[in-house]
């Protein structure tokens, strides 16, 4: 059946390579994600995610996070908010965006910001989670797509995918296999959002049956 809903107007925020952004574009191209990317914003002028957007003719903005290094607050937060609103974004996907969001943005997009994290939360929040999992001796790790709240990787979980840790894994090989699963999980979670199937009950996310 044809989906008559408007495509989700998605803004993607990232600081680096943008392989997760690419997975969003690929899913849109395949027809498995009913969305259009309204804009890409990066706090890193040299981030390849911006180049990927430009090549597709998608508005790509470098918006500085200064003077802060790990959070988005004050003037910088206001500049992000203006850019998101100027592009009419409905939903924000954090795809390798290396800053903690603060209430200005969280409140403006309450319940409409998703993050992809490279571990099975609540295990291994924060940076380099694949390395944390390896150092800890975990046998299974994976990735999580969750709604963003004021904590670090603490919001309600939408989708998780498991990845076994192999005997001869290095941080790089493990991260690469986790990323393969991220590229499935993020478009899947966004499509659930696009279909209006996500219901948040306290900490739990209930996925409504497809209509
Ligand atoms: C991913 O592993 C994501 O989970 C983490 O940062 C990485 C970004 O990768 N938050 P990419 O820029 O999407 O390739």
* Nearest alpha-carbon partner for 153 in 166, 165, 144, 142: 144
Kindly report whether the peptide bond that precedes residue 80 is cis, defined as omega within 30 degrees of 0: no
Domain membership of residue 50 as a residue range:
8-205
pLDDT of residue 6: 84
Using the structure block, give the residue that is written with the tokens 């998605």: 10
Cβ pair 140, 169 in contact under 8 A: no
Tell me whether residue 57 is in a domain.
yes
Where do we find the tokens 């986790």? 178
Q: Quick check: pTM over 0.85? A: yes
The verdict on residue 211 lying in a domain is no
State how many domains the chain has.
1
Q: Residue 56 is part of a domain; what is its CATH number?
A: 3.40.50.170
In a domain, 139, yes or no: yes
Q: Could you tell me if residue 29 is inside a domain?
A: yes
Can you tell me which atom of ligand 1 is nearest the CA of 175?
2
| Domain assignment of residue 3, yes or no | no
CA neighbor of 133 nearest in space, from 92, 169, 80 = 169
87, 117, 146, 183: the catalytic one is 117
Identify the residue whose C-alpha is closest to ligand 1 atom 3: 96
Q: What is the pLDDT along the chain (211 residues), one digit of tens a residue?
A: 445 578 999 999 999 999 999 999 999 999 999 999 999 999 999 999 999 999 999 999 999 999 999 999 999 999 999 999 999 999 999 999 999 999 999 999 999 999 999 999 999 999 999 999 999 999 999 999 999 999 999 999 999 999 999 999 999 999 999 999 999 999 999 999 999 999 999 999 999 999 8
Q: Does the annotation mark 117 as catalytic?
A: yes
Q: Compute, in angstroms, the gap from residue 1 CA to the centroid of ligand 1.
A: 34
The response to whether residue 116 sits with its C-beta less than 6 Å from ligand 1 reads yes
Q: Does residue 210 lie in a domain region?
A: no
Q: Would the CB of 20 count as within 6 Å of ligand 1?
A: yes
In a domain, 2, yes or no: no
Which protein residue has the closest C-alpha to ligand 1 atom 9?
96
Q: Calculate how far, in angstroms, residue 118's C-alpha sits from the geometric centre of ligand 1.
A: 7
Residue 17 C-alpha to ligand 1 middle, in angstroms?
Answer: 8
60-62 and 8-13 strand pairing = unpaired
| CA–CA separation, 182 and 173 (whole Å) | 14
For residue 115, give the ligand 1 atom closest to its CA.
10
From ligand 1's centre to the CA of 146, what distance in Å?
14
Q: Is the CB of 18 under 6 A from ligand 1?
A: yes
């Amino acid at each position: 059946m044809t989906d008559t809903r408007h495509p989700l107007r998605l803004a993607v925020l990232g600081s680096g390579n943008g392989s997760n952004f690419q997975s969003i574009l690929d899913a849109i191209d395949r027809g498995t994600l009913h969305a259009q990317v309204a804009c890409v914003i990066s706090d890193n002028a040299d981030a390849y995610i911006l180049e990927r957007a430009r090549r597709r003719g998608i508005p790509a903005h470098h918006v500085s996070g200064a003077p802060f290094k790990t959070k988005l607050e004050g003037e910088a937060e206001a500049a992000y908010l203006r850019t998101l609103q100027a592009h009419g974004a409905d939903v924000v996907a954090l795809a390798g965006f290396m800053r903690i969001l603060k209430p200005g943005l969280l409140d403006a997009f309450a319940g409409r910001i998703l993050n992809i994290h490279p571990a099975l939360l609540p295990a291994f929040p924060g940076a380099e989670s694949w390395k944390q999992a390896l150092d800890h001796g975990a046998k299974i790790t994976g990735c999580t797509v969750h709604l963003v709240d004021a904590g670090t990787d603490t919001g309600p979980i939408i989708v998780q995918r498991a990845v076994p840790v192999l005997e001869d894994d290095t941080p790089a090989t493990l991260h690469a296999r986790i990323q393969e699963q991220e590229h499935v999980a993020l478009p899947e979670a966004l499509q659930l959002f696009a279909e209006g199937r996500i219901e948040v009950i306290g900490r739990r996310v209930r996925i409504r049956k497809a209509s």
